[in-house]
Amino acid sequence: MHQISPEMQSCIDECLRCYQSCFGMAMTHCLEQGGKHVEPSHFRLMMACAEICKTSANFMLMNSPHHKHTCRECAEICEECARSCEQVGDMQDCVEACRRCAESCRKMAA
């Protein structure tokens, strides 16, 4: 019987946490603050990050061998999103969620 390893479960958790942070912050904090928070390339990056986090979590939940590829892409987009959130400022929770997810995804992709 299939058992998710503790490492994979931890990565699923980080992906879903980062998903929540990016999607939730974009839809509330960013829209309410406006200005550079809704600058197209930043806002799209947050949405792209949410999307790839969800997909990577799903690939791990379904035990697909392709999760290594989605996790590698997820790590890249999370790092890029963390940098963009740092530049915009006032988004420390999101920066941390992205960094933790990126680290966890890099391990899964290895």
Residue 56 or 99 having the CB closest to a second copy = 56
Q: Does 34 bind a second copy (CB under 8 A)?
A: yes
**What Å distances lie between residue 11 and 38, 39, 44, 109, CA to CA?**
29, 30, 23, 11
- Rule CB under 8 A: is residue 40 a binding residue for a second copy? yes
Please tell me whether residue 27 binds a second copy under the rule CB under 8 A. yes
Nearer to a second copy, 47 or 86 (CB): 47
**Amino acid found at 46:** M
- Distance, in Å, from the CA atom of 74 to the CA atom of 59, rounded to the nearest integer, reads 12
- Angstrom distance (rounded) from CA 31 to CA 15: 23
- Contacting positions for a second copy (CB under 8 A): 1-2, 4, 12, 16, 20, 23-24, 27-29, 31-32, 34, 38-40, 43-45, 47-48, 51-52, 55, 57-59, 61-64, 66, 69-70, 73, 76-77
